[in-house]
């Protein structure tokens, strides 16, 4: 299920000041911004130029993954290259065939850039710029060959045929990517309406590549400026980190597939801050993601929270043991709820405790039927899924 539109836009608005959308739409470029920290890696901003180019409305794009712009002739290898760049949290520049809302295909030069939090080095957004590619005339087998006036047919009649073609290019990927659809028409000679095959390879010119890079720089300048106004600064290059610091887009996406309420805390950083909070956790507690990340789980406690239970949790963490408790916690609106809480250490591929995962179930709802699974089994399934995701990531890092 797609996250609610309001929550998706909030994930973008909370990072930057209220004027950022207006400033971004003043840029002439076609681009989208996605959030890899939200389940499904949805688009959280689409420029007016991009919407006009692809023929979609804002409400049809926001909250969707870039896959909606792909089609039957989209090159799978190019899509995988973009997905790999997302996983490795790096930029990429590539040509891709995508589709407009009306189904017409077009070629685009797609350039993607990660946006890092200056506070902790996490990737918080990806910017994807789409530049239409103008294809130059070229000879094709199967079509009547271009000739100039000096070429004569057998009957002596001079013929000059010109076949011009425009194609457009775009991106495809699991997350932001595949967002394009251009508006340049295909121009074909009236002597042959077969024109050019749309899936014929289309390469961007140096001018188009330069235009894409310049657009990235302009967008990053706007994002940087408006993040300074909120104090939650972003940058184009990752800062140095200690501990696990940032999870990485691939781990964020893996954790986003887990639908239970849980948080992941970093065992290698002072005071064990929360580095991931699930959508279900945000819904349960009423907090926004930016209000949770970087906090210790103590922020859920209140005046009537039992200190003995808190000490029990602290001891289990100190000794790297799992524990299950029933603790009184408080939502953002200060209403209380009994939290049936399970905490477990999460080790990386080398066997070192890198995280702790905490799974929350509202005690008044814990006996509700959930595919026939007990609360304990549901919690253990989350622990298992988190451990697999963390270990897979750390094993991949150790072999790269």
Look up the CATH number of the domain holding residue 295. 3.30.450.20
Q: Which range of residues forms the domain containing residue 254? A: 249-399
Domain ends where: 186, 210, 234? 234
Same-domain pairing of 98 and 197: yes
List the Cα angle 111/108/207 in 5-degree steps.
Answer: 70
Q: How many domains does the chain have?
A: 2
Beta strands of the chain (E only): which ranges? 31-34, 43-46, 92-99, 105-117, 123-132, 234-235, 262-266, 274-277, 323-330, 336-347, 353-362
Let me know if residue 156 belongs to a domain: no
In this prediction the pTM is 0.53
Answer whether 46's CB lies under 8 Å from 60's CB. no
Q: Based on the domain organization, do 13 and 106 belong to the same domain?
A: yes
For residue 158, give the 3-state DSSP assignment.
Answer: strand
Q: Are residues 275 and 376 in the same domain?
A: yes
- Residues 131 and 266 reside in one and the same domain: no
Cα end-to-end span (Å), the chain: 34
Asked if residue 229 and residue 89 are part of one domain, the reply reads yes
Q: Which alpha helices (DSSP H) does 337-374 contain, by range? A: none
Angstrom CA distances, 320 to 152, 155, 276, 310, 384, stand at 86, 91, 19, 15, 16
Alpha helices in 94-205, H assignment, sequence order: none
Specify if 219 maps to a domain: yes
Q: Return the exposure string of 338-370: e unless at least 16 CB atoms fall within 10 Å of the residue's CB, then b.
A: ebbbbbbbbbbbeeeebbbbbbbbebeebeeee
For residue 203, tell me if it sits in a domain. yes
Q: Is 288 found in the same domain as 229? A: no
| Residue 302 belongs to a domain | yes
Burial class (CB in 10 A: 0-12, 13-18, 19+), 98: buried
176 shares its domain with 51? yes
Check whether residue 43 and residue 192 sit in a common domain.
yes
Has residue 244 been placed in a domain?
no
400 residues of the chain, pLDDT tens digit each: 344 566 677 768 888 888 899 999 999 999 999 998 888 889 999 999 999 999 999 999 999 998 899 889 888 889 998 988 888 788 899 998 989 999 999 999 999 999 988 877 778 899 999 999 886 544 444 433 333 433 433 444 443 333 333 343 333 344 444 444 333 333 333 333 334 456 566 788 889 999 999 999 999 999 999 998 888 888 887 664 445 545 677 788 888 889 899 999 988 887 888 989 999 999 999 998 878 888 889 999 999 999 999 999 999 999 999 999 999 999 999 999 999 999 999 998 778 898 999 999 998 876 665 566 788 898 999 999 999 888 876 555 444 4
- Of 234, 260, 292, which residue constitutes the final position of a domain? 234
3-state DSSP assignment of residue 364 = helix
**Phi, psi for residue 100 in degrees, rounded to 5:** -80, 175
């Amino acid at each position: 299920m797609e996250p609610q539109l309001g929550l998706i836009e909030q994930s973008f608005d909370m990072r930057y000041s209220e004027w950022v959308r207006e400033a971004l739409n003043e840029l002439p470029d076609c681009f989208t911004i996605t959030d890899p920290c939200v389940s499904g890696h949805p688009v959280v901003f689409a420029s007016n130029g991009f919407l006009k180019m692809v023929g979609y409305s804002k409400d049809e794009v926001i909250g969707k993954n870039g896959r909606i712009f792909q089609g039957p002739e989209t090159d799978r290898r190019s899509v995988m290259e973009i997905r790999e760049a997302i996983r490795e949290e790096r930029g990429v520049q590539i040509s891709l065939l995508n589709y407009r809302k009306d189904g017409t295909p077009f070629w685009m030069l797609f350039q993607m850039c990660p946006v890092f939090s200056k506070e902790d080095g996490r990737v918080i957004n990806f910017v994807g710029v789409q530049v239409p590619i103008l294809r130059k005339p070229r000879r094709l087998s199967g079509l009547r060959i271009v000739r100039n006036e000096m070429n004569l047919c057998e009957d002596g009649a001079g013929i000059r045929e010109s076949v011009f073609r425009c194609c457009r290019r775009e991106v495809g990927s699991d997350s932001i990517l595949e967002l394009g659809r251009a508006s340049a028409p295909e121009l074909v000679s009236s002597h042959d309406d077969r024109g050019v095959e749309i899936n014929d390879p289309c390469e961007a010119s140096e001018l188009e590549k330069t235009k894409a890079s310049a657009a990235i720089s302009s967008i990053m300048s706007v994002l940087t400026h408006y993040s300074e106004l909120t104090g939650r600064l972003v940058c184009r290059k990752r800062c140095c980190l200690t501990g696990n610091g940032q999870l990485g887009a691939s781990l964020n996406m893996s954790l986003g597939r887990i639908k239970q309420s849980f948080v992941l805390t970093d065992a290698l950083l002072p005071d064990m801050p929360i580095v991931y909070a699930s959508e279900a956790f945000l819904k349960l507690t009423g907090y926004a993601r930016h209000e949770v990340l970087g906090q210790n789980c103590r922020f859920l406690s209140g005046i009537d929270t039992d200190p003995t239970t808190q000490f029990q949790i602290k001891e289990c963490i100190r000794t790297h043991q799992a524990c299950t408790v029933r603790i009184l916690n408080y939502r953002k609106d200060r209403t209380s709820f009994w939290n049936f809480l399970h905490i477990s250490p999460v080790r990386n591929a080398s066997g070192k405790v890198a995280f702790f995962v905490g799974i929350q179930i509202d005690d008044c709802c814990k006996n509700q039927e959930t595919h026939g699974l007990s609360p304990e089994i549901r919690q253990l399934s989350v622990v298992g899924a988190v451990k697999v995701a963390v270990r897979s990531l750390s094993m991949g890092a150790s072999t790269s």
